[in-house]
Amino acid sequence: MTTDTALDTSDARIHRALASPARARLLELLEQRTHDVAELADHLDLHVNTVRGHLKVLEDARLIRSSPEQRHGPGRPRLTYTAVEPSTPRTDPGYRLLAEMFVGFVGRELDEPERRARQLGSAWGRYLVDTPPPSADIDSDAAIQQVVELLERLGFDPSLQTEADGRVCVRLRRCPFLEVAREHPDVVCSVHLGLMRGAFEGLGADVEVSDLIPFSDAASCIGHLEARE
């Protein structure tokens, strides 16, 4: 029997694997056809050892599988990779039920639910980005791009915009938990705010999300960006 802990670990590995733009691109290529390491490295203009590291993360998350190429001549067969079809669609109604149970518990049972929800989102935001090594600096534009790509993979359909007052913002044009968010915006939107803040913190960026305005219009939310003090 598969335990809840095993399911949680599997889901975390998937999110972590897809948080990297390079791994997301690798998976996209492997969904189109089978490739070997050299071909993938050529497509992404990366060193083959870097690609091998990304492939291991994808394989550990069970998003891809490897197998030796069948050949009849001499020499060691090359290892090829292909994408694995997902077994559980993310549109499964069980995900919405789980979300409703979660936000209901946080809202009723925890003190300061909005703060606790932001803390949870922040922890996951730091986890889901590729934290740069201590010797590396990442500029604000690159950090913003990475966070936008993360939000895209998580289903928020984000876009960068500049408002009339000159402030830069991220517009989230789709909420993966819209129905639940409308009923519990204090918890769900706090998780999303924490997620973005944690992602920027994990990247060590000189930029942060000052606030998140839920349902700023009929279909989207807005997170304002500003320089970190």
pTM > 0.75: no
On the question of pLDDT at 203 being above 90, the answer is yes
Query: 184 and 79 in one domain?
Result: no
State the Cα–Cα distance between residues 48 and 38, nearest whole angstrom.
6
Q: Residues 209-221: pLDDT tens digits?
A: 999 999 887 568 9
Q: Check which CATH number belongs to the domain holding 157 and give it.
A: 3.30.1380.20
In this structure, of 34-48, 53-67, 79-93, 159-173, the range with the lowest mean pLDDT score is 79-93
Q: Residue 139 is which amino acid?
A: D
Query: 128 and 21 in one domain?
Result: no
Query: 104 and 198 in one domain?
Result: yes
Query: 71 and 100 in one domain?
Result: no
pLDDT at residue 81 in the model: 94
On the question of pLDDT at 8 being above 60, the answer is no
**Number of domains forming the structure of the chain:** 2
Mean pLDDT confidence for 109-123:
91
Task: Give the chain's radius of gyration (CA, Å).
Answer: 20
Q: Last residue of some domain: 58, 83, 108? A: 83
pLDDT at residue 190 in the model: 94
pLDDT at residue 147 in the model: 94
Query: 103 and 72 in one domain?
Result: no
Domain of residue 65, residue span: 4-83
Query: 39 and 126 in one domain?
Result: no
The reply to whether 172 falls in a domain is yes
